[in-house]
Every structure is written in structure tokens, then in C-alpha cells.
């Protein structure tokens, strides 16, 4: 029977790729994409009524206030969107007896561990964004029976401002860059994450899953690789500390996921980040040129 899949946050960086992937992978289902123009998840009654009216079978909830430093400066908005907004979506999901898929983040961890984070590790967020997303996870689990929670990290993709576009722009404009070298993680291409989300939906997975491209690096090494693969090796890159950068939100120094659960339950392992980046730079170049 034809199912209805609703993607909320469909015009965001991940959302655009995910809608395309779901259309291709699930041609017998109807995929509906909503974003802030169609639904404001901060408004409880409207959110519940709109979702109930559509009556989806699966709701993939990506909408969030994703500006990590912005969240630090506006805690009220961070919790209103990322926590309370998620509660409203989860309440609607519960009423429709649908399945909920919620996108969360590595920033639920403090980064004090020195080996890859398991889904069973205790969260301890360092910043407002991480705390608001963790509360979103808790609401999803409390309201939507057997929700699927996918934690992702260090995303870049064709449809949004991200670290890669920012490095290339700064390299063109200034010819010299300072990048932090004391945070470790796994840069992840939104296309690869979208494929993994689609696979997890097809496996009817439930519970928490960590998903990232494999291998790890610092932002500094990631930036250097972006420049090298773009033929801009001549640009000078200076490694700096997070303290020197002085961003409002503290970030975990170690954000590496153990993705074995994904492999065990679906057989899927994401390719190394450098391979994905190469692909992105090849196929995403046109859009970057437009910016
Ligand atoms: N980017 C990352 O590195 C990263 C890492 C880990 C996890 N995640 C999670 O992955 C998901 C997707 O991230 P992304 O980078 O694709 O984010 P994004 O590009 O910022 O997309 C989020 C979308 O949600 C919309 N939105 C914001 N407030 C809303 C509201 N009140 N009601 C309805 N829609 C609203 C945004 O609209 P506006 O643009 O108009 O605000 C935007 O289109 C998020 O849940 C995020 O927390 C992201």
C-alpha cells in the first residue's frame, strides 16, 4: 500500500537531498516536503492539526535552528524550535500513529571520550544547541513510539552554506585562512547521510543510530584537503585553537562516531570522508560557482 512520508525541514541543506533520495528509493510511496513556509513547528496547535490532516505514515523531522553560535546567544529560540518544536511534531506523530525519524547531532556529547562514541554513551552537551537537540531526542522518544533517532555531524552539501563553501570563498577573497586544529570529527556529505536515512527507513530501524562518513580529521586538515582538491594549495592555512577563534558556543574537541550499529543492522558503511568530498567538489562545483 502506498505510504505517505512527510519531510519537515525539506528546504534545508540535508532536506533537499533527502527528498530527492526518498523519491528515487521509494517510488511507490508519496514523499511530501514541508519547510517553514508550510509549517512553523513552534506553533503547537497548527503543527498538530496540519500533520494530522495530512495523515503521514512516516515523519522525518529535520527542521531546526541550526546556527550553533546563534543558539548560544538566543537560548529561547533554540529551545522553542529544537526542543518544543520537536515535541509538537512528536505529539502529532503519536496522534497519527505514524513513525518518527528525528535528526540529532554529535553535539549531544562533550567530546571528553578518546574513542568513537557509541549510541549507548551518555550524552553531556557543552552548548545550548546540543542541549536543545538532546531535549528534542527525549521528546521524540517520549511521545513517538519507537522513534528512529539519527545523530549526524559536520555536514556539508550542495544546498547550503557550509564549511567547504566558506573555505573556498575565504580562500578566493583573502588568500590566507585560519582554521581550528583542536576539534576532531568526520565530515559528512549530505547525499551519503540521505542515503543512510533512506536505508534505515527501509529497514524499519528504531532507536538511536550514529551516521557519518568514515575516517576522521581536524577542521584544519579538512580545510587543507578542500583547498588541495580544488587546486588551491598555494593558499596559506594557519592552524589556530578554538580559544583563539573565540566563538560563542563551545564545541566538543572529539566528535567521532562509532557507526558499527548501522553496519550491523543494515549492512551499510559510509565511504571515507575524503572520497565523499572529492565527489562533492566534482558535482557540487556548479552550485558553488553560483554563490
Ligand atoms: N548541519 C550540520 O552540520 C548538522 C550536524 C548534525 C545534525 N544536524 C541536524 O540535521 C538536521 C538538518 O540540518 P541542516 O544542516 O540541513 O539544517 P538547515 O539547512 O538549517 O535546515 C533546517 C531547515 O529547518 C527550517 N526551520 C527552521 N525553523 C523552523 C520552524 N520553526 N518550523 C519549520 N521549519 C523550520 C529552516 O528554515 P530557515 O532556513 O528559513 O530557518 C531550514 O530550512 C537538523 O535537525 C540539524 O540539527 C545538522
Cβ–Cβ < 8 Å for 229, 277: yes
Please report the pLDDT score of residue 130 as a whole number: 98
> 130 CB less than 6 Å from ligand 1?
no
Active site residues: 129
Smallest CA-to-CA distance from 93 within 57, 138, 136 is with 57
Report phi then psi at 148, rounded to 5: -100, 120
For atom 43 of ligand 1, the residue with the nearest CA is: 12
Say whether 30 sits in a helix, a strand or coil. Answer: strand
Q: At what angle do helices 190-202 and 273-283 cross, to 10 degrees?
A: 110
Task: Pick the atom of ligand 1 nearest to 80's CA.
Answer: 31
Give the number of C-alpha atoms closer than 13 A to the C-alpha of residue 157, restricted to the C-beta side: 21
Element (H, E) at 200: helix 190-202
Please report the pLDDT score of residue 290 as a whole number: 42
- What spacing in Å lies between the alpha carbon of 186 and ligand 1's midpoint? 19
- Read off the C-alpha cell for 189: 556529505
Please report the pLDDT score of residue 288 as a whole number: 47
> 135 CB less than 6 Å from ligand 1?
no
- Read off the C-alpha cell for 229: 582538491
Please report the pLDDT score of residue 287 as a whole number: 52
Q: Point out the residues of the chain with pLDDT beneath 50.
A: 285-286, 288-291
Residues 6 or more apart from 254 whose CB is under 8 A from it? 111, 112, 113, 114, 183, 184, 185
What's the pTM?
0.96
C-alpha to C-alpha distance for 86 and 49, rounded to whole angstroms: 15
Please report the pLDDT score of residue 160 as a whole number: 85
Please report the pLDDT score of residue 284 as a whole number: 66
Smallest CA-to-CA distance from 214 within 257, 150, 161 is with 257
Amino acid at each position: 500500500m502506498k505510504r505517505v512520508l512527510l519531510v519537515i525541514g525539506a528546504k534545508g541543506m540535508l532536506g533537499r537531498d533527502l527528498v530527492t533520495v526518498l523519491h528515487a528509493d521509494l517510488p511507490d510511496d508519496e514523499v511530501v516536503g514541508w519547510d517553514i513556509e508550510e509549517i512553523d513547528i513552534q506553533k503547537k496547535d497548527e503543527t498538530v492539526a496540519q500533520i494530522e490532516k495530512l495523515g503521514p505514515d512516516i515523519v522525518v523531522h529535520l527542521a531546526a535552528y541550526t546556527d550553533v553560535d546563534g543558539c548560544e546567544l538566543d537560548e529561547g529560540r533554540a529551545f522553542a524550535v529544537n526542543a518544543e518544536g520537536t515535541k509538537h511534531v512528536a505529539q502529532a506523530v503519536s496522534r497519527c500513529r505514524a513513525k518518527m525519524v528525528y535528526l540529532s547531532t554529535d553535539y549531544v556529547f562533550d567530546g571528553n571520550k578518546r574513542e568513537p562514541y557509541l549510541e549507548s554513551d551518555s550524552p553531556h552537551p557543552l552548548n545550548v544547541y546540543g542541549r536543545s537537540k538532546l531535549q528534542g531526542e527525549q521528546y521524540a522518544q517520549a511521545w513517538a513510539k519507537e522513534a528512529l533517532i539519527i545523530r549526524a555531524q559536520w555536514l556539508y552539501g550542495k544546498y547550503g552554506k557550509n564549511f567547504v563553501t566558506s573555505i573556498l570563498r575565504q580562500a578566493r577573497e583573502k588568500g590566507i585562512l585560519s582554521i581550528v586544529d583542536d576539534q576532531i570529527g568526520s565530515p559528512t556529505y549530505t547525499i551519503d547521510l540521505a542515503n543512510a536515512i533512506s536505508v534505515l527507513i527501509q529497514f524499519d530501524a528504531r532507536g538511536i543510530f550514529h551516521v557519518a562518513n568514515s575516517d576522521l580529521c581536524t577542521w584544519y586538515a579538512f580545510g587543507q584537503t578542500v583547498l588541495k582538491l580544488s587546486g588551491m594549495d598555494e593558499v596559506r592555512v594557519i592552524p589556530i585553537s578554538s580559544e583563539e577563534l573565540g566563538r560563542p558556543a563551545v564545541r566538543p574537541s572529539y566528535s567521532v562516531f562509532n557507526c558499527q550499529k548501522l553496519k550491523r543492522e543494515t549492512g551499510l558503511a559510509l565511504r571515507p570522508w575524503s572520497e565523499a568530498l572529492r565527489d562533492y567538489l566534482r558535482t557540487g562545483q556548479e552550485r558553488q560557482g553560483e554563490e
